[in-house]
A = this chain, B = another copy of it.
Amino acid sequence: MISVVGHTAIDNISKVPHLPAKNCSTHISDRQIYFGGGAANIAAGIATLGEQVTLISCIGSDFAGSEYEFWMKKIGIQRQFFVVPDANTPTAFMFTDDNGDQMTFFEWGASKAFTHAEAPHLPFVHMATADPEFNCRVAERSEFTSFDPGQDVFWYTKEQLETILVNTDILFANQHEVHQMCATLGVTKETIISQVGTAIFTMSGDGSTLYSEGSAYFIPVVPVTLADPTGAGDSYRAGFLSAYMRGYTPLTCCRIGTVTASFVVEHVGCQTHLPDWTAMRQRYQKHFGTLDLPVSRKG
């Protein structure tokens, strides 16, 4: 069982002819609602790949009976939610105009409850972007910890990052997040890598690098027709963690993560085009060769 801690969120993606000036209005020509939130995206990816997963999120009173709840049940995500009756489930409103310029309004909503929530004791947890204090407590109480700071990296203090990294077994970050962690901690990238043991740094469309046991491995992306890069990182982590649980080596896990992400970016939305294990394996073998059963560790 993989536990994933962090946001469940609802993404409202709207197109507008122009972004409004102050005290002005604009009309929305198209609005789509997508299921999102980093932790929920990862949990959905893991569940679709066939692994057991529990999602630990804060939700509002608007969640029960919603289409999102229906979807989570359908794909088999086990849910361990902090329900905040007077709040909304975290919701993002993104408006993009005809020039590609954007404005984003993010409602933290129910996720405020993380601050005072009791951290569970977990055998295998991935901590996606969420409340730094809660993640510190989870890291200290869990046995095996995977971590990605995500866009909330700016909210972490030096002490919080130190507490988490000393308890982290696998670290995921993109280049901006690595840079920010180094700045906050006052250390080099190499120091961070040596501390966590296994680090995966992603470089958007330029692939990813695995640092493990003193070596570095580059994993190229799987070329696909890109529709929307949103959710690529989350699905990469879902693929990696599912494969890791099945006992694959970190390098194979990275390749499986890369293949999983290649499906997601072909469609708009973070959870609209997740592969099952069979679809993932077929594409894996086309690009990386035979995917044998793992011979060693089984989670």
Contacts and interface: CB of A to CB of B under 8 A. Distances in A.
Contact of A105 (B22, B28, B88, B108): B28
Contacts of A107: 14, 27-28, 31
A40 B24 CA distance: 24
Name the residue among A31, A101, A102 with the largest chain B CB count within 10 angstroms. A31
Contact of A108 (B27, B88, B95, B103): B27
Interface in A17-51: 19-20, 22-28, 31
A93 interface: yes
B105 A27 contact: yes
Nearest to A62: B33
Contacts of A28: 91, 93, 105-109
A10 to B, nearest CB: 11
A16 interface: yes
A25 B101 contact: no
Interface residues of A, number: 25
A161 B170 CA distance: 67
A105 B26 contact: yes
Contact of A25 (B26, B91, B104): B104
7 contacts: A16-B105, A20-B104, A25-B103, A28-B105, A31-B88, A31-B91, A93-B105
Interface in A50-96: 88, 91, 93, 95
Interface in A133-165: none
A106 B28 CA distance: 6
A27 B103 contact: no
Nearest to A103: B20
Contacts of A103: 20, 22-25, 103
A1 B14 CA distance: 38
Interface in A103-127: 103-109
A101 B16 CA distance: 20
A88 to B, nearest CB: 6
A28 B20 CA distance: 17
A92 to B, nearest CB: 9
